Structure 1
Amino acid sequence: MWKLVVGFVLFAALALFILMKSGGDIDMSGEKHDVGAGHAEPAASAVLAASAPAAASAPASAASQ
């Protein structure tokens, strides 16, 4: 049983060494949250929200003429 554990540890260490030396993008620091991904959607909704009052006031001003 101990041979399996030693074999696994050696194989994992060799795999990490090869991946790091070959230029693989390995990040062992844990879960990341992409902060920049959520910025596109609020910008699009802000444009829609800004155009909605302008569109709503256009018929009212046309009706009063």
Structure 2
Amino acid sequence: MRRVRSIAGDSVNLLLYRELERCDDAAEEALWRVNPGLAEYAPVLPAGVWVALPEVDSRPVAPTPVSAWD
């Protein structure tokens, strides 16, 4: 599992997007499971917080489109 340090002004979504190139609900949920103490910080993380990145697929699975004629 890879660990990264936050930069001043990082939010969880910004950190996920910068490091994993995705910030969807599945990636965010996995990050919160791996870092239970991260919720103690404010919505914007201070600089220097170590964050463990979850092991997720490189790209999220695209949902199948729904049509009114299905």
Q: TM-score, normalised by structure 2?
A: 0.22
For CA contacts below 8 A with separation 6 or more, give which structure has more relative contact order: 2
From the two aligned structures, give the one with the greater strand fraction.
2
Q: Greater CA radius of gyration, 1 or 2?
A: 1
Which structure dedicates a bigger proportion of its chain to helix?
1
TM-score of the superposed pair, with normalisation by structure 1: 0.23
